[in-house]
Chain A
């Protein structure tokens, strides 16, 4: 039963892995998609659905909502792709769009409230030098990676969202700050604290 479930985890997303499109090819596909070519849009879907779903899955708390958000992203892509100007790599742009979609979804759930609220004054200043750093080890086994993933999924939302946007979506601090409506400094602090919390969780687990 478990094996079946693992197989079925990603919604048939293996295709995206299989082929990585080269620059010029991708450009032409994007151009065609911007001209509302259904085939090109399908190609983009095939290439990136896995990455987009992954981001949504990490950011939202159920597979169901992640699927919904993924669908939304690609549905809206028909229009939104017109605004893509090639200034940043397409995958990153797409993940930014997906990140926005997820934040919208989180906001909707909280009925319009801000997803992450700056609570502490001067939160960006953290005297971390005092604590001896013990970052996560360099090489991880499959099982350990799964533990890390599990720990990330269990992080509180205000840590999880920026962490995933940064290390999965590879968004810059500024982009994250813009999406979440936060100060750049605060994003840095959140990321830092998220990692500390992650270490604490994983350290706690191995003991």
Chain B
């Protein structure tokens, strides 16, 4: 009798052969040694398969695994929960004591008034040329990532994980020391006043509806309030976070300002760094150093000893600038009385928005550049920067893939969940700045808010990487899931995103969408990674 085919025997071994045929095969097996051997071999093979499948496949076979934290998760959970509770109780205690003063209501994102104010101010700011500084912001983020890249590469090349940890601890210790290090006098009431005959020897932290300094503060003044007025003298720096800041007295250090409006009537020893809606240096105002500001409106009537760099919607200069004046924005007006000690360089959208009166004195050169969108594409530098940007993003992607393979691939994958990522992303994009501000207000949370800010900016940058990689994968549909597939997908995706990004209007929307999607995927993945196990 003829032998059965291997496939038939295989089906028989699986117990799936029809009853009648199975009976015939059994009869045949009784007489055929060759078929019996085949049967035994196939049975053994099935056993091998079942046994091998008892365990899970190697992660190496499909690299999407997420490397979990090495320490015991049970204890890890306890530690994390304890830490969160501890920090939480401190923060809650702080907020409780602080009870956001009336003066800060305009800033309180939980009140309707505060929200409308914030939104109004922000939209006003962006509508009036504030976007000009976004490019520079991108450059700063780029630099930050370059540093991160260098550090990461060094870490990777040296594989010195042990060095890494003490470094981190050192940083934490330094942060902690720097916090408790400075002497601080706190004052909080509806109206905080340092009277004319009064002197505060330490740094003064003042919060209230009105913070008024008529006397002398020997340290720094950290002021939070609706209105901050310095009529007396601050020997250190003035850090103000207020709706309105007026300096008619003297600040000997620098002014760091986040206000709706900043008016300088008096004397400033060093520099102004500010992010304000309206900045005015009155004709009596004098800045000993320079200015770096982002503002909706800048009015410079007084005197600035050194250079002025501003990103402004409208800038009116009628006073004097000791050195260079660099302006990026919409409108620039120099009146007859304006005097620039160095070069004037301005980057505006339209030449007719620059008015330089005949009487204005400019010692150095005039360099007025019109920023026309199309001119981007004509300049080789543009392509060079794009190439550098792309290479940097690829490097960041590669580095992330090498350092956190599971997380990066999973984040890419999470982008695919579309609306979940988008919704979550919008929430994170809008919510995190609020969290940062709220954390910062408590001051004790200042380092935490800075870290959060860094994480936020990093995630915004990485959003493109994840969305790009996802897009590439969707288009290329690689057979495997290897690193090179992922990177190729990333390259293709980034190229597409970059090109779409340059389409007027639509490009901006797409960019926003990309950021939201990526942020959402990141947040989701972060949540998953911190979640102890898969939960049903």
Contacts and interface: CB of A to CB of B under 8 A. Distances in A.
A145 B62 contact: no
Nearest to B2: A129
A34 interface: no
A11 interface: yes
A58 interface: yes
Nearest to B57: A153
Contacts of B49: 136, 148, 152, 163, 167, 195
A57 B57 contact: yes
Interface in B64-110: 64-70, 73
Range class of the A interface residue count: 35 or more
Range class of the B interface residue count: 35 or more
A137 B38 CA distance: 12
Interface in A185-200: 188-189, 191-192, 195
A65 B67 contact: no
B14 interface: yes
Contact of B3 (A5, A129, A136, A150): A129
B58 A146 contact: yes
B44 A137 contact: yes
B6 A133 contact: yes
Contacts of A61: 62, 64, 481
A67 B524 CA distance: 14
A112 to B, nearest CB: 15
Contacts of A150: 57-58, 60-61
Given A12-B533, A62-B413, A149 B55 contact: yes
Contacts of A146: 52, 55, 58
B409 interface: yes
B51 A145 contact: yes
Interface in B10-67: 10-11, 14, 16, 38, 41-42, 44-53, 55-62, 64-67
B59 A145 contact: no
B70 A8 contact: yes
B393 to A, nearest CB: 22
B50 A135 contact: no
B53 A4 contact: no
A139 B44 CA distance: 8
Contacts of B406: 63
B532 interface: yes
Interface in A68-82: 70-71, 74-75, 77
A164 B3 contact: no
Nearest 9 pairs between A and B by C-beta? A74-B536, A62-B64, A153-B61, A135-B45, A8-B68, A148-B52, A138-B44, A135-B41, A4-B70
11 contacts: A41-B536, A53-B56, A53-B534, A65-B413, A131-B6, A140-B51, A140-B52, A149-B56, A164-B53, A173-B11, A189-B7
Interface of A: 1, 4-5, 7-12, 41, 45, 49, 53-54, 57-58, 61-65, 67, 70-71, 74-75, 77, 126-129, 131, 133-138, 140, 145-146, 148-150, 152-154, 163-164, 166-168, 172-173, 188-189, 191-192, 195
